[in-house]
């Protein structure tokens, strides 16, 4: 599972438990925010376009490897982000044009099949271009080190910066959805997919934009998370599965649901790793099963 | 509904089977092992197709049962001697089946995409359980030292260390599993599963407990997958957590879709083709540099296959869709229904709220048996909500519904259907891919709706009589072998009535049965409904005022969810309040 490896903190003896809990809350929120970037695109593509996109994790992987290459060129993670976003957007639009648009009239099974094929292709391309060894991406020097929070625990600055960046990107997305014309179409599609078609909206353009935006968000997550985790083959797959879990918990098509679901999963994962290390991954799925039994349409979804 | 494979396909399958019998005489040990692996995977994907293609449950966690079967063998096998397959294989099957029943009980609560995700989640849970813990070697996997053998009374009959023996065992197992699955689709159980796949709501409204059916199917498929898993573990004598993983499930779905979902034989070809392609790409010399990047080529091939052959390999052997018209069958005059009477319905204080809106407001009504009762009212009066509550597709907020004295309010739709209420819907609600006769067959099976029915048995005559009768009185006998999707709109409405007759329901609720019919059809359907009142109680919502005033024995007027008037048609016509509220111009011109 990507996200929260062993917390890099110094534990003082007196407040060890307090420290641990606080640190895990921070780790969980930061991981949850990253997950939200990946899951929001997935939920919109599923809710508005009706496409199950198994290759979504590959775009997170794309981001991670873009981060590796661009940072080695520019020496700065934020320049990499600025360069990576347009690259990912164009890449996403191209994938939609080449493959995804043929799937709108097909059933779920064929969507699963084609996007599974895409995973195989992307994974192999990754191996050809970047090889199979794990790499690490340097944290920029001005963000290295830790700060003390609440006078208790010290927390890595870069992780705080990542959380902040995620919030900025999430706010940018909310701005697009709430304040722009294309956002109005997205909201229309969110509440009723058929309506979008009835209203005569250019669905082709809308779908391409939504897909490319989803790819961009996932890739942006991969770019900024790269200095925290190492970059390795198959990095996208755990992100894909966890994002799908987030989408299901939140309710398909609901951005708000994805946000709540991502934070829930982030916290469950962070605490699970510390308190139930044997079953940390399982806890995420147990949480999802519990939500679905109680609310078969997810927390914010329409009834399935 | 899935029919037996066409002669061409059957011949092809037999040729393939015979060809496989000969492989060990020509192929080397590598070919034998490869083919054995394909057989085992084929058993696995046939069980998955039973879920996906027959029942309509797209499981993305089917490999968890495959893995469970494999690990069962590891736990059962003694360290220093061969496990007895006569015990180990059934045990693996039972373990996988039991776990499938438990996990399925949760998964089957959800539908569509959510079902895909919950099954995936459970698969990943089991994967992580075996991956992170130290059970059976954790992520490294574990070896089964000695392969199982079939032994009896201390004598070894079949030793699976011998790869020839095991090859033929797996081939026979594949043939047996395929034939078993095919035979199951032709039982009442299997037919209802297919009905659920295409229209679960309708199947439930006919009286089938769709949850129980789906759970049984899930359990069966899980048990077979467990059997495949135990065979798979025997091939290499090695188990690893990857067997549970989503890739394994994903690849199985690939094989099903590549071969053609819902055909049962298609996935076998899919497993063969997928394995061959993978093998060629990995090892063949003529692919040259691709071999080191075989999964790239495999991915591209998959994408190409989806875009060009959406129906899979089996689609190439598909039947041409023909419009068959069967000869007019002789009118069957024997009396089908015993002298059953219709049921009495008493509704008291029935209320249904949606958040703020009161769709049905404290309605009390007594409907006498063996009469035609009409419900009229303006759009939005709550007529459809009222019958939805009666038939159980919605729960009442308050009030009682007594059917022959028994309170059925709030019971699930399938329970109410079993008590004798059959309903049709405002929007035609039938099994579109099935023929007219198959639609009626599903309805007739609802007379004995237990999912444990594996034979038509003693009911077969009663059911075929009911089907013939239903087709006859609705005038659909000549159209019996046409797919319901190809019927005209009016005929589809009549098919819905035919299904209700065939189902043996005694209180029929019809929501606008005349919608979209011409005057001639209208006359015929109204005459049919009148004659049905001889042994049914009929309740219908209708907007065709001439028809309903002419045919109904009593009329009930609903306005804004409230009961405005109830009485004989002539009383209603006289009722001024009704005239103002609803009949309007119609009332004036008629007086």
Distance from CA of B460 to the nearest CA of A (A): 36
ipTM of the complex: 0.79
In a domain, B321, yes or no: no
| pLDDT given at position B583 | 59
In a domain, A270, yes or no: yes
In a domain, A7, yes or no: no
B449/B548 same-domain check: no
Contact predicate B511/B482, CB 8 Å:
no
Domain span at A163: 16-294
Last residue of a domain, one of B450, B474, B505: B505
Q: Which of B254, B296, B307 is opposite residue A116, by nearest beta carbon?
A: B254
Domain span at B485: 432-505
In a domain, B254, yes or no: no
Q: Which of B325-329, B351-355, B363-367 has the lowest mean pLDDT?
A: B325-329
Mean pLDDT of B329-345: 57
| pLDDT given at position B587 | 41
The Cα–Cα gap between A114 and B12 comes to: 28
For residue range B56-71, list pLDDT tens digits in order.
999 989 999 999 999 9
| pLDDT given at position B579 | 66
In a domain, A1, yes or no: no
B187/B80 same-domain check: yes
Q: Which of A125, A241, A296 is opposite residue B246, by nearest beta carbon?
A: A241
Quick check: B254 pLDDT over 70? yes
DSSP structural state of residue B479? G
| pLDDT given at position A284 | 82
For residue range A30-72, list pLDDT tens digits in order.
999 999 999 998 988 888 888 888 899 999 999 999 999 998 8
Distance from CA of B527 to the nearest CA of A (A): 39
pTM of the model: 0.85
In a domain, B561, yes or no: yes
Last residue of a domain, one of B484, B505, B526: B505
For residue range B78-107, list pLDDT tens digits in order.
777 777 778 888 999 999 999 999 999 988
| pLDDT given at position B246 | 84
- Contact across the interface for A112 and B300, Cβ inside 8 Å: no
In a domain, B267, yes or no: no
Distance from CA of A116 to the nearest CA of B (A): 8
CA B519, B524, B530: angle at the middle one, nearest 5? 125
Structure tokens at B286: 């003529």
In a domain, B299, yes or no: no
B471/B543 same-domain check: no
- Contact across the interface for A289 and B295, Cβ inside 8 Å: no
The Cα–Cα gap between B45 and A175 comes to: 46
Quick check: A2 pLDDT over 50? no
Q: How many CA atoms lie within 13 A of B311 on its CB side?
A: 7
In a domain, B264, yes or no: no
B185/B80 same-domain check: yes
Q: What share of chain B is helix, strand, coil (3-state, %, to 5)?
A: 60, 15, 30
Q: Which of A123, A289, A304 is opposite residue B295, by nearest beta carbon?
A: A123
In a domain, B451, yes or no: yes
- Contact across the interface for B299 and A296, Cβ inside 8 Å: no
In a domain, A275, yes or no: yes
B362/B468 same-domain check: no
Q: How confident is the model at residue A85 (pLDDT cuts 50, 70, 90)?
A: very high
B556/B490 same-domain check: no
> Closest chain B residue to A55 measured between Cα atoms?
B299
In a domain, A249, yes or no: yes
Q: Which of A97-101, A166-170, A295-299, B505-509 has the lowest mean pLDDT?
A: A295-299
Q: Which residues of chain B neighbour A114 with C-beta distances below 8 Å?
A: 302-303, 306-307
The Cα–Cα gap between A251 and A244 comes to: 10
Q: Which is higher by pLDDT, B319 or B402?
A: B402
The mean pLDDT of chain B is 84
Mean pLDDT of A257-279: 86
Q: Is residue A265 within 8 angstroms of chain B, CB to CB?
A: no
In a domain, A10, yes or no: no
Structure tokens at B533: 């009142």
Domains contained in chain A, number: 1
Query: Going edge to edge, which strands form the sheet with B345-354?
Result: B357-367, B345-354, B398-403, B406-407
Helix axes A235-250, A255-275, angle to 10 degrees: 120
Site of tokens 């969810």: B561
Q: Is A58 exposed, middle or buried, given 0-12, 13-18 or 19+ CB atoms closer than 10 A?
A: buried
B163/B220 same-domain check: yes
In a domain, A47, yes or no: yes
Q: Which is higher by pLDDT, A181 or B16?
A: B16
Q: Which of B113, B256, B296 is opposite residue A108, by nearest beta carbon?
A: B113
Q: Which residues of chain A neighbour B116 with C-beta distances below 8 Å?
A: 52, 108, 112
B513/B498 same-domain check: no
The Cα–Cα gap between B556 and B546 comes to: 15
B15/B122 same-domain check: yes
Share of chain A above pLDDT 70, in %: 89
Q: Is residue A184 within 8 angstroms of chain B, CB to CB?
A: no
Q: Which of residues 187-246 of A touch B (CB under 8 A)?
A: 241, 244-245
B71/B211 same-domain check: yes
B240/B153 same-domain check: yes
φ and ψ at residue B547, rounded to 5 degrees: -65, -45
Q: Is residue A127 within 8 angstroms of chain B, CB to CB?
A: yes
B440/B587 same-domain check: no
Mean pLDDT of B101-125: 86
Quick check: B202 pLDDT over 60? yes
Last residue of a domain, one of B476, B505, B534: B505
Domains contained in chain B, number: 3
Question: In b/e form, how buried is each residue of B364-402, taking b as 16+ CB within 10 angstroms?
Answer: ebebebbbbbbbbbeeebbbbbbbbbbbbbbebbebebb
In a domain, B278, yes or no: no
Q: Which of A116, A277, A286 is opposite residue B250, by nearest beta carbon?
A: A116
């Amino acid at each position: 599972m990507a996200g929260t490896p062993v917390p890099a903190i110094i534990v003082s003896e007196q407040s060890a438990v307090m420290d641990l809990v606080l640190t895990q809350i921070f780790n969980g929120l930061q991981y949850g925010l990253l997950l939200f970037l990946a899951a929001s695109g997935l939920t919109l593509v599923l809710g508005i376009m009706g496409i199950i996109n198994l290759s979504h994790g590959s775009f997170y992987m794309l981001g991670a490897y873009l981060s590796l290459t661009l940072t080695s060129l520019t020496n700065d993670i934020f320049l990499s982000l600025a360069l990576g976003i347009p690259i990912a957007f164009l890449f996403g639009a191209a994938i939609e044009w080449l493959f995804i648009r043929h799937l709108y009239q097909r059933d779920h099974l064929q969507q699963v099949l084609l996007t599974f094929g895409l995973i195989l292709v992307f994974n192999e391309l990754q191996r050809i271009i970047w090889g199979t060894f794990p790499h690490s991406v340097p944290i920029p020097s001005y963000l290295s080190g830790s700060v003390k929070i609440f006078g208790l625990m010290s927390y890595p600055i870069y992780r705080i910066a990542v959380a902040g960046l995620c919030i900025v990107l999430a706010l940018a997305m909310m701005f697009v959805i709430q304040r722009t014309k294309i956002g109005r179409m997205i909201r229309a599609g969110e509440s009723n997919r058929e309506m979008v078609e009835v209203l005569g909206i250019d669905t082709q353009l809308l779908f391409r934009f939504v897909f490319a935006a989803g790819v961009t968000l996932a890739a942006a997550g991969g770019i900024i998370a790269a200095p925290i985790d190492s970059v390795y083959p198959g990095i996208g797959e755990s992100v894909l599965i966890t994002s799908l879990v987030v989408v299901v918990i939140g309710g398909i098509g609901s951005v708000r649901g994805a946000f709540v679901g991502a934070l829930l999963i982030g916290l469950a994962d962070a605490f699970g790793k510390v308190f139930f290390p044997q079953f940390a991954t399982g806890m995420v799925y147990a949480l999802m099963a519990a939500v679905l039994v109680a609310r078969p349409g997810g927390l914010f979804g329409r009834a399935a | 509904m899935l029919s037996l494979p066409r002669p061409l396909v059957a011949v092809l399958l037999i040729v393939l089977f015979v060809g496989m019998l000969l492989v060990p005489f020509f192929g080397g040990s590598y070919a034998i092992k490869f083919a054995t692996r394909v057989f085992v995977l084929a058993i696995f994907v046939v069980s998955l197709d039973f879920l996906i293609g027959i029942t309509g449950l797209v499981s993305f966690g089917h490999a968890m049962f495959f893995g469970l079967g494999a690990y069962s063998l590891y736990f059962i096998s003694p360290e220093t001697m061969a496990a007895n397959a006569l015990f180990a294989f059934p045990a693996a099957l039972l373990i996988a089946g039991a776990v499938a029943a438990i996990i399925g009980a949760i998964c089957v609560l959800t539908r569509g995409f959510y079902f895909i995700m919950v099954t995936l989640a459970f698969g990943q849970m089991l994967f992580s359980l075996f991956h992170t813990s130290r059970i059976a070697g954790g992520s490294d996997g574990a070896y089964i030292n000695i392969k199982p053998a079939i032994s009896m009374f201390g004598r070894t009959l079949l030793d699976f260390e011998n790869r020839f023996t095991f090859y033929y065992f797996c081939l026979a197992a594949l043939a047996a599993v395929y034939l078993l699955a095919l035979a199951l689709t032709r039982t009442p159980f299997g037919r209802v599963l297919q009905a659920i796949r295409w229209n679960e709501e309708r199947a439930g409204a006919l009286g089938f407990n769709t949850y129980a059916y789906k759970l049984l199917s899930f359990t069966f498929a899980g048990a077979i997958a467990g059997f495949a898993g135990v065979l798979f573990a025997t091939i290499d004598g090695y188990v690893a957590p990857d067997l549970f993983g989503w890739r394994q499930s994903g690849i199985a779905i690939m094989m099903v879709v590549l071969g053609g979902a819902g055909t049962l034989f298609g996935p076998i070809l899919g497993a063969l083709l997928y394995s061959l392609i993978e093998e060629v790409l990995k090892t063949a010399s003529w692919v040259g540099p691709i071999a080191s990047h075989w999964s790239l080529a495999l991915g591209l091939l998959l994408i190409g296959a989806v875009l060009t052959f959406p129906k899979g390999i089996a689609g190439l052997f598909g039947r041409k869709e023909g419009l068959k018209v069967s000869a007019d069958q002789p009118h069957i005059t024997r009396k089908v229904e015993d002298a059953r009477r219709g049921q009495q319905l008493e509704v008291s204080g029935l209320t249904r709220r949606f958040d703020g809106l009161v769709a049905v407001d404290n309605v009390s009504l007594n409907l006498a048996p063996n009469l035609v009762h009409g419900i009229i009212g303006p759009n939005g009066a709550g007529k459809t909500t009222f019958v939805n509550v009666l038939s159980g597709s919605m729960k009442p907020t308050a009030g009682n519904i007594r059917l022959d004295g028994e309170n059925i309010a709030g019971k699930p739709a399938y329970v109410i259907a079993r008590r004798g209420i059959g309903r049709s819907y405002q929007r035609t609600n039938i099994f579109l891919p099935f023929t007219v006769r198959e639609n009626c067959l599903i309805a007739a099976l609802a007379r004995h709706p237990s999912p444990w029915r594996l034979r038509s048995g003693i009911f077969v005559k009663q059911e075929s009589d009911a089907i013939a009768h239903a087709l006859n009185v609705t005038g659909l006998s000549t159209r019996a072998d046409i797919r319901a999707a190809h019927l005209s709109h009016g005929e589809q409405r009549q098919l819905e009535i035919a299904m209700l007759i065939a189902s043996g329901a005694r209180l029929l609720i019809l929501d606008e049965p005349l919608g979209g019919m011409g005057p001639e059809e209208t006359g015929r359907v109204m005459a049919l409904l009148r004659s049905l009142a001889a042994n049914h109680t009929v309740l219908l919502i209708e907007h065709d005022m001439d028809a309903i005033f002419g045919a109904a024995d009593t009329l009930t007027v609903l306005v804004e969810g409230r009961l405005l008037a109830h009485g004989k048609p002539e009383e209603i016509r006289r009722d001024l309040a009704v005239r103002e509220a609803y009949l309007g111009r119609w009332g004036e011109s008629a007086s």
